[in-house]
Amino acid sequence: MPDPRDFRHALGRFATGVVVVTAAYEGREHGMTANAFTSVSLDPPLVLVCIDNHARMSAVLEPGMEYGISILSLAQRGLSQCFAGRGRPPAAIEFSWKRGVPLIAEACAHFLCRLTDARVAGDHTLFIGAVEEFGSTEEAPLIFHRGGYSVLGPKLT
């Protein structure tokens, strides 16, 4: 059995974007930072996010509900830390609302999803969402690599 710390260290070599998963639940906004996010299918458009089974968001997301995923921009590092429970919330978090779902304003991209499936896999749950609406900007994305934030270098040709 691999040592969990060594396993996490090895996984940290894979650079990822940073997203905030959001939902309106019991009359207020809920959100959490995640970096285990990927596309599943283009037709139909499906995305997947992995959430720790002990995270509050695991209990918030219910079958059939709409929720949001916002890919954070480089300028939104503070929001990443805030929604990860590691930083002070800004005075006011700016949301962009779509069909009653809070999305992070000025994110690189956002996806309005409907939860279609959830599968427990070890200490996380894989949440699969059907993308109902999306949008994107040209902002530089926030990158997570080797346990910290990073930036993209120039494109290789």
Q: What is the C-alpha to C-alpha distance for residues 146 and 92, in angstroms, rounded to an integer?
A: 30
Total tally of structural domains belonging to the chain: 1
**Domain coverage including residue 120:** 29-136
Whether 87 is covered by a domain: the verdict is yes
Q: Looking at this protein, which amino acid is placed at residue 63?
A: P
Q: Is there a domain that residue 55 lies in?
A: yes
The string of pLDDT tens digits covering residues 31-61 is 999 999 999 999 999 999 999 999 999 999 9
Q: Record the pTM.
A: 0.92
In a domain, 80, yes or no: yes
Domain with residue 124: its CATH number is 2.30.110.10
The answer to the question of residue 59 being in a domain is yes
Q: Does residue 4 fall inside a structural domain?
A: no
Q: What is the helix (H) or strand (E) element at residue 83, kind and residue range? A: helix 77-83
76 in Cβ contact with 104 (< 8 Å)? yes
- Provide the pLDDT confidence category of residue 13 given band limits of 50, 70 and 90: confident
In a domain, 70, yes or no: yes
Per-residue pLDDT tens for 80-129? 999 998 877 666 789 999 999 999 999 999 999 999 999 999 999 999 99
Give the residue-averaged pLDDT of 4-23: 91
What six digits make up the tokens of 105? 């304003």
Q: Does residue 6 lie within any of the structural domains?
A: no
Answer yes or no: is 68 within a domain. yes
**Residue 50 to residue 72: CA distance in whole angstroms:** 17
What pLDDT score does 151 carry? Answer: 86
Strand pairing report for 45-52 and 66-71: unpaired
